[in-house]
């Protein structure tokens, strides 16, 4: 049986296109092995399992996690609508928060010559 070093020397003696095929084949085989191990582990631990047996059961989760951006209050309209009681119809209220006294600066477009 050949050692790894003897096999590398044997492959180095082959033409370039054969060495290229061996390199890509080895890389594809190793990637497939890693993917198979990941898939087997994910399926074995239940990472792909559906929590409820129907859509209605999986949608009836009581806990709600809200995470905002830097301001902490972004995208709260949808959360507020989802927290309302089922007897009231869903609605969205738009509130203008820009101060009316603030002047809008006119910006000129800049043309870059090529």
| 28 band by pLDDT with thresholds 50, 70 and 90 | very high
Biggest CA-to-CA distance, the chain: 85
pLDDT tens readout for residues 40-93: 998 888 777 766 555 555 555 555 555 545 555 555 656 665 665 666 666 677
**Amino acid 97: pLDDT:** 72
75 vs 38: which has the higher pLDDT: 38
**Amino acid 75: pLDDT:** 59
Reduced to 3 states, what is the DSSP secondary structure of residue 30? Answer: helix
pTM assigned to the model: 0.41
Phi-psi sector, 46: left (phi>0), alpha (psi -120 to 50), beta: left
Distance CA 58, CA 52 (A): 5
């Amino acid at each position: 049986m050949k050692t790894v070093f003897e096999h590398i020397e044997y492959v180095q003696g082959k033409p370039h296109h054969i060495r290229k095929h061996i390199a890509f084949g080895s890389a594809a085989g190793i990637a497939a092995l890693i993917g198979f191990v990941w898939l087997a582990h994910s399926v074995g631990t239940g990472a792909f399992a559906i929590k409820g047996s129907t859509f209605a059961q999986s949608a009836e989760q009581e806990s709600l996690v809200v995470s905002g951006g830097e301001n902490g209050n972004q995208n709260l309209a949808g959360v507020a609508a989802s927290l309302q009681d089922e007897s009231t119809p869903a609605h969205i209220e738009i509130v203008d928060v820009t101060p009316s006294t603030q002047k809008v600066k006119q910006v000129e477009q800049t043309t870059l010559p090529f």
